[in-house]
Amino acid sequence: MLYINNLTKNYGSFTAVNHLTLHIPEGDLFGFVGPNGAGKTTTIRIVCGLLRASGGLVVIGDSEAPIGSREMKRMIGYVPDFFGVYDNLKVREYMDMYGSMYGMYSRDIAKISDDLLELVNLSDKKDVYVDTLSRGMKQRLCVARALLHNPKLLILDEPSSGLDPRARVEMKELLKNLHSMGKTIVISSHILSELSEMCTSIGIMNRGQLITAGRIEDIMQQLSGGKRIHVQVISDMETAVRFLK
């Protein structure tokens, strides 16, 4: 589904993405993990056509369309880490606006919007102003908006950032549900445990380079292999007190 070959992004003498090569198959739920500044967001923005690469190739499916072209962008649903709030738009109007940007017919927008809002559990918020929603609701609304044109690839840049524990669980369940429906998803995070609970495969980035990538079970085994935990058992309370002192 997503083919990245020898992708590079330079800012002067600084290399943000260093010859990245990666293949994400169709139907995969792939996680980019790494510390802040690892190159995850830069890679995502290049794939979405928001940044120009210094070198390399990005292909989605069988398309030969160049990065950033209208054809390529229509294949992608993008959920950024931060997005604008529209003070004077209700949820339904927000969906209508984005549907019109994709050149969709009004009747199609209304039907698809209803289905998507039900999917993200926001059906009861259609006539609520967007800026009154909680951050978790806004994130789910942004996912619904990104799916309006039925993209081949859904990309989310740290969608759980700033969410409370309950909203994180809701986002995780939503993504797992979309994956079960056959959607190809790429999600970034700097928290490995967060991705390991829902992703089928991950890639670990650091300082612009892809350190390793593969199935989640294989990666977790590599990370935990060879480690031992030593446990010392205290035989009686007196010994335990002396030990603590």
10 pLDDT higher than 50: yes
**Contacting residues for 143 by C-beta, under 8 A, at least 6 apart:** 79, 120, 154, 156, 159, 174, 178
In a domain, 119, yes or no: yes
Phi, psi of 138 (to 5 degrees): -65, -40
Range of the structural domain that residue 116 is part of: 76-150
Q: Single out the residue in 96, 117, 150 at which a domain terminates.
A: 150
Q: 56 and 91: one domain? A: no
Q: What is the CATH number of the domain that holds 67?
A: 3.40.50.300
- pLDDT over 60 (residue 227): no
Arithmetic mean of pLDDT, 125-152: 93
pLDDT reported for residue 243 = 45
CB-CB contact of 190 with 36 (8 Å) = yes
Q: How many domains does the chain have?
A: 2
Query: Within 10 A of 8 (CB to CB), how many other CB atoms are there?
Result: 16
Question: Is 141 domain-assigned?
Answer: yes
The pTM (predicted TM-score) of the whole model is 0.86
Average pLDDT for 130-145: 92
Question: Do 64 and 81 belong to one domain?
Answer: no
CB 1 within 8 A of CB 173: no
What pLDDT, in 10s, does the model give residues 164-207? 889 889 999 999 999 999 999 999 998 888 888 889 999 999 99
pLDDT at res. 229: 57
pLDDT of residue 224: 66
The answer to whether the CB of 17 falls within 8 A of the CB of 7 is yes
Give the pLDDT confidence score for residue 228 in this predicted structure: 57
**Structural contact between residues 21 and 8, judged by C-beta atoms closer than 8 angstroms:** no
102-125 confidence digits (pLDDT tens): 889 988 999 999 999 999 999 999
The reply to whether 63 and 183 lie within a common domain is yes
Decide if 166 is inside a domain. no
In a domain, 197, yes or no: yes
Same domain, 84 and 145: yes
Instruction: Give the separation between CA 148 and CA 95, rounded to whole angstroms.
Output: 8
Domain match, 66 and 114 both: no
